[in-house]
Amino acid sequence: MEISQQQNESAGQSASGRSNRKTPLIIAGPCSAETPEQVMQAASALALDHRVDYFRAGVWKPRTTPDSFQGIGTPALQWLQEVREKTGLKVTTEVGSPKHVEEALKAGIDMLWIGARTVSNPFVIQEIADALRGSDVPVLVKNPLSPDIDLWEGAINRMVRAGIKEVGAIHRGFFWWGKSIMRNQPFWHIPLELRRRMPGLLLINDPSHIAGKRDLISQLAHRAMEHDFSGLMVEVHPEPDNAWSDAAQQLTPRNFLSLMDELFGIAPESSHTTLLNELRAEVDSMDEMLVWALSVRMELAGKIAEVKKEAGLNSLQTGRWQEVLENVKTLGARSGMDPVFVEKVYNYIHRQSLNLQNGVLKSNDAQTKKEPNFVL
Ligand code: PEP
Ligand code: MN
């Protein structure tokens, strides 16, 4: 199946056109190509489902540490060729350098994707775009690690300007420094804004790299479909627990097929319950972030109290408090929130912060100024 698209070259800009596909584009396969047997086992299972369009397997792996499995490299391209011959599935792999592009094109790989770490580097992206010039291979560009929409859009435009006719985007979530139940934060508004900027963009969701663990994949995939994504890229391994990379997030072929049925089969009776659970899981994830942000804020308030103690200042600094309040009310209004609600929430936070600071100030000697404790 083609990822056919119309190209939009308007205003000298280049936005890839969206396929008018009725069915979503499905890309599935293991994180990494490990052995010829593992690759063929995964592919044979996936080929049983006519909804799978492309078989994925990483040949060159962008791993965080040099001690991890770095991928088999060029020899594994032949395993992908065998998959295509024996199963009829099209094949796709990640490229991260002009050398990878050269090898993958030589091996006739049907589609390429560019990984999140690579997209963060415009020099490399330009080199890859130059290496792809003149080929007609479709290219999917993952979002960069940081939630930087311009960098993502820029990488896509570099591909289109190099004359690549079929360019799409993969949303794989964004690195988040706080605690979260997910490996990467979805920040759904970013891919949706990208699609707004590039009307008709072929936009694929990769729930595996967002979730980081298999039990969250289904809810993310459902969300992506609700947001009208053009398709999914899902990691599937014959024995996920023994995978050489991303073991926690890969699905067995059986679980993947159930996911496909759940998403595209007959709607289950309890679709409301499913949706409710998905939305609640997202709320839980936001609550984790909120509580984490509050705890960091309180820690900072404690440090500020130490400075105030040294300087002989009161915990309550009215001018500063007004400034904080105005700032959050403006931010709230910008996000469509009622300023009265924002003010109430911040009054609570501020009181707690003052209580904490008063504790620090009181712990000093007799010179310390006393502040009454607020009761929440
Ligand atoms: C992958 O798809 O296996 C991969 C390495 O993805 P990402 O670039 O999203 O981390
Ligand atoms: Mn992976």
Distance 209 CA to ligand 1 centre (A): 7
Of 257, 262, 234, 264, which Cα lies nearest the Cα of 49?
A: 257
Lining ligand 1 with CB less than 6 A are 31, 58, 62, 94, 115-117, 142, 172, 209
Atom 3 of ligand 1, residue of closest alpha carbon: 31
Residue 15: pLDDT over 90? no
Domain ranges for the chain: 5-270, 274-368
pLDDT interval class at 22 (50, 70, 90): low
Band of pLDDT at residue 283, cut at 50, 70 and 90: confident
Close Cβ partners of 312 (under 8 Å, ≥ 6 residues apart): 367, 369
**Nearest ligand (C-alpha, residue 244):** 2
Residues around ligand 2, an ion, CB closer than 5 A: 31, 246
Q: Which long-range contacts (C-beta less than 8 Å, at least 24 apart) are formed by 254-257?
A: 255/214, 256/28, 256/46, 256/49, 257/48, 257/49
**Rounded to two decimals, what is the model's pTM?**
0.74
Cβ within 8 Å of residue 108, ≥6 positions away:
81
pLDDT tens, residue by residue, 112-171: 999 999 999 999 999 999 999 999 999 999 999 999 999 999 999 999 999 999 999 999
Using only the alpha carbons of the chain, give its radius of gyration: 25
Report pLDDT for 371. 52
Note the CATH number of domain 5-270: 3.20.20.70
Q: Domain spanning 274-368 has what CATH number? A: 1.20.59.10
CB 93 within 8 A of CB 109: yes
pLDDT band at 374 (very low <50, low <70, confident <90, very high): low
Which of 27, 31, 210 is the best mutation target for the ligand 1 pocket, counting ligand atoms within 8 Å of the beta carbon and taking the most? 31
pLDDT for res 48: 93
274-368 and 5-270 share a CATH fold: no
In the predicted structure, residue 5 carries a pLDDT above the cut 50: no
Long-range contacts of 82-87 (CB under 8 A, 24+ apart): 82/36, 82/39, 82/40, 83/39, 83/40, 83/43, 83/55, 84/55, 84/110, 86/40, 86/43, 86/44, 87/43, 87/44, 87/46, 87/47, 87/55
In a mutational test of the pocket of ligand 1, which residue from 34, 142, 151, 174 has the highest number of ligand atoms less than 8 Å from its CB? 142
